[in-house]
């Protein structure tokens, strides 16, 4: 199955061109993490509208007249879902499963996925972006903070990889 993956250097060059196209047309790079914050904000607004408006962070996404979901990155993430679906479909890689290493159970893996998601969602807000919105985009612009951010991702992951080895190996 692995030989169906395209060579990483070729993919990297293509990804760079997609990013360049985004800069040329829109004047900004890609990203995705804030679309999940926006969905969460829309949810909070639905359940507790007053609380959402008075919270200093949620209210950032509620300043416009339009819904917090009518945003550039939300549509970009929807597009990414469709693009990923199309690619997985033509490569016949769509299969319902819980991806994990051979020595870990489904339940533990799902809890770890949830924990990792919570940490990532929190960290992406703290750093004002994720691997794509901050690292890829910012590093291409040669933004100083984005380069530091990218190396800190690797530092964080390498520093703790040992504790999660049973999950993957």
Partner 1 sequence: MGPLYKFGWFDFAYSLQMAGLIGFLFGFVLERAGFGDPKKLTAIFYLRDFAVLKVMFTAIVVCAVGLLYFSLFGWIDLGRVYLLPTYLWPQMIGGFILGIGFVMGGYCPTTSVVATVSGKLDGMIFIVGMMIGSVIFAEIFPLLKGFYGSGDMGAVRLTDILKVNSGIVALLICLMAVGAYWLVEKVEGKFGDKDSLPKSSPRLKGLGAATLIALGLVLAIANPDKGAAKAPSSAPASVQEPAHTGFKILEDEGC
Q: Is 47 in the site for partner 1 (CB under 8 A)?
A: no
Q: 24 is written with which tokens?
A: 């040329």
CA distances from residue 38 to 41, 97, 122 in whole angstroms, order as listed = 5, 28, 13
Q: How far apart (Å, rounded) are the C-alpha atoms in residues 137 and 143?
A: 9
Question: DSSP label at 65?
Answer: S
Q: Is 62 in the site for partner 1 (CB under 8 A)?
A: no
Select from 103, 105, 155, 166 the one that contacts partner 1 (CB under 8 A): 155
Contacts of 94 (CB under 8 A, 6+ apart): 85, 88
Q: Is 67 in the site for partner 1 (CB under 8 A)?
A: no
Q: Is 39 in the site for partner 1 (CB under 8 A)?
A: yes
Nearest alpha-carbon partner for 133 in 37, 65, 49: 37
Question: Which 14-33 positions form the footprint of partner 1 (CB under 8 A)?
Answer: 14-33
Q: Is 115 in the site for partner 1 (CB under 8 A)?
A: yes
Select from 46, 76, 105, 166 the one that contacts partner 1 (CB under 8 A): 76
Total interface residues for partner 1 by CB under 8 A: 126
Least distance CB 31 / partner 1 (angstroms): 4
Cβ-contact 91, 4 below 8 angstroms: yes
Q: Is 130 in the site for partner 1 (CB under 8 A)?
A: yes
Q: Is 104 in the site for partner 1 (CB under 8 A)?
A: no
Q: How far apart (Å, rounded) are the C-alpha atoms in residues 166 and 103?
A: 6
Q: Is 165 in the site for partner 1 (CB under 8 A)?
A: yes
Least distance CB 49 / partner 1 (angstroms): 15
Q: Is 166 in the site for partner 1 (CB under 8 A)?
A: no
């Amino acid at each position: 199955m692995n030989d169906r993956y395209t060579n990483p250097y070729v993919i990297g060059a293509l990804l760079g061109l997609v990013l360049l196209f985004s800069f040329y047309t829109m004047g900004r790079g890609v990203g995705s993490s804030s679309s999940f914050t926006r969905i969460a904000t829309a949810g909070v607004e639905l359940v507790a509208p007053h609380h959402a408006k008075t919270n200093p962070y949620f209210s950032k996404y509620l300043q416009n007249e339009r819904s917090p979901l009518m945003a550039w990155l939300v549509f970009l993430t929807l597009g990414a879902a469709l693009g990923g679906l199309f690619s997985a479909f033509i490569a016949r890689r769509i299969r319902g499963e819980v991806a994990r290493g051979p020595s870990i159970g489904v339940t533990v893996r799902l809890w770890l996925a949830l924990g990792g998601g919570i940490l990532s969602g929190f960290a992406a807000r703290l750093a004002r972006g994720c691997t794509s919105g901050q690292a890829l985009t910012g590093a291409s612009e040669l933004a100083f903070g984005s380069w530091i951010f990218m190396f800190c991702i690797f530092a964080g992951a390498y520093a703790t990889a040992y504790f999660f080895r049973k999950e993957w190996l």
